[in-house]
A and B are shown apart, each in its own frame.
Chain A
Amino acid sequence: MAGPQPFAIYGRFVGDFVPHLVSALMSDTMPELAEKVAVHSVGRRLPARPGGRYQVLLDGKVIPDQVTLGELIAERRLPPLSWFDVSWRD
């Protein structure tokens, strides 16, 4: 099930002091998810990086870009408000 269904997560941009409530969609790819998380920190409390790209980590492991949130949820049986990390890819 990867349609435009909302799914709430806690998203922490690495380097910020607090994770945020993020309403993502099941159909979100990792870059889309990363953007939704990053917007609350990058350019607000952390400097933006021109040309910088994000990556998503779950339990410390980078998730490939093309994976959707819905696939991840199904595979790992993630409950709502699971913790996702987003960081600069470098």
Chain B
Amino acid sequence: MNRDEWYDLARDLDWTLSYVDEKQAFPDEWTGAGEVPPSAWKDWDEPFRASYREYVRVQREKDAGAYAVKEAFKRARGFERLDPGHQAAAMMHMGAIAMVEQMAVTMEARFARFAPSPRWRNIAVYGMLDEIRHAQLNLSFSHDLLKQAPQFDWANKAFHTNEWGVVAIRHFLDDTLLGSSCVDSAVVTNLTLEHGFTNMQFVAFAAAAMDAGDVSFSNMLSSIQTDEARHAQQGFPTAGILARFDRKRAQDLLDASFWRSLRLFHLLTGPAMDYYTPVHLRKHSFKEFMTEWVVHHHLRVLEDMGLAKPWYWDQFMLSLEHGHHAVHIGTWFWRPTVWFNPCAGVSRAEREWLVEKYPGWEDSWGVLWDEIIRNVNAENMGKTYPETLPALCNLCQLPLGTALDRHHLRPYTTTYGPRLYHFCSEPCQWIFGLDPERYAGHMNVVERFLAGQIQPMNLEGALEWMGITRDVMGNDAFQYRWAKDYAR
């Protein structure tokens, strides 16, 4: 039996409701059809097709492979021998991502219930199952490493904490994955985040992990990526239909999600690629990889849908040059507040690489690092730690100044109601302005601190509030040995 012959019989299953109101069955807050007429959804179609029967067989085989590699690596106890920079990247990834996979289960379940097309509802069931797979693979992998590294507890724990990086991720993804309509979620997540982000965070990271000798992690990431290609398909037909009937909404959504995704990449992928990955294993810089895999892809997608480049394109290009360097130095400086050991990544050899890839690096960042290095070599360690919180963006939750560099640092503020809101950039400010009611009620970490939610109001209190325990509290991955490069 040819699957194509019965496929439509399994998915063209809409009917006219009689015993429940259409709006009750498909409330717009969850469906998100908006201005798109119901008839438009009949054209929703996805290129990927799978039968349930094939799915369970193929996935069973895939898992047999992925778990076998994991078991072999576990027996070899190889993780502890890996480069500390790679270890940090793995710990950061697990803490940041494992729970997101589970959140995506909920999002796909949302599609399976509320999407305006039965074809879409069906494909979402595979997506839902895929994301369970990813969450459980990540957890299984991390759990194996607990005895060697307590930081992997954060694969399960991170999102239950108020750690600042987690708050930033949650601000974006609780909204997108758990608090948005099907249409919005599909465009932001499947189309923008998954297609762009996973190419870097998963594919590139898999390659880097393999090079670093972390066969198990690499294999797991690659295996996960084979599923992404399938369920990320949901974004294209959805965005296409949206672009036809509500162009402004499609454009705004894509522009907002692209910028927010970039900020997520600044937090996670950029530092991992340009600072944590051992320098001799770096095949591309973050900027190169973004340009080749994400930028070109996203521009093609926009073009296919008859949409324009984001209005902030020039700022985006500049941010590509700087943002992750900013987040990196900030993460390193505030290292006690993260659950892994950040790798400074500024030894002489690494610095040469950075300068080659980012010609302005010395003036934007080298100057700052030089002062840190002086303090390390003078054993003035107190000066290499912070004594207060950084100013934070009310949209992306990352520190002000981390979208660009120190020369471009300036305020972006909006007064809405009784409150003053700060933003790291014009795009973040613009996103807030698109739907102020969506964002205005939220308090960032600084505001919570000022409201007395962190007690006592000092570093100890902040660490406890963030769930950072002594056994995971971050310190330099190489115990500052790299600073010797600069010692007189």
Contact = CB atoms under 8 A, between A and B. Distances in A.
A2 interface: no
Contact of A10 (B364, B371, B374, B422): B422
A51 interface: no
A44 B391 contact: no
Interface string A30-58: 00000000011001111100000000000
Interface residues of A, number: 24
A17 B450 contact: no
B390 interface: yes
Contact of B368 (A12, A16, A22, A23): A16
A83 B413 contact: yes
Contacts of B34: none
A18 interface: yes
A19 B386 contact: no
Contact of A21 (B371, B372, B391, B420): B391
Given A17-B405, A18-B390, A44 B384 contact: yes
A65 to B, nearest CB: 23
B400 interface: yes
Contacts, number: 91
B388 A22 contact: yes
A39 to B, nearest CB: 7
A22 B447 CA distance: 13
Interface string B365-379: 101101110110000
Nearest to B406: A17
Contacts of B413: 83
Contacts of B269: none
Contacts of A81: 391, 420, 422, 446-447, 450
B86 to A, nearest CB: 26
Contacts of B333: 44-45
Contact of A19 (B371, B390, B415): B390
Given A44-B372, A46-B371, A83-B411, A17 B401 contact: yes
A45 B422 contact: no
Interface of B: 326, 329-330, 333, 364-365, 367-368, 370-372, 374-375, 383-384, 386-391, 399-402, 405-406, 409, 411, 413, 415, 419-420, 422, 446-447, 449-450
Interface of A: 8, 10, 12, 15-23, 39-40, 43-47, 79-83
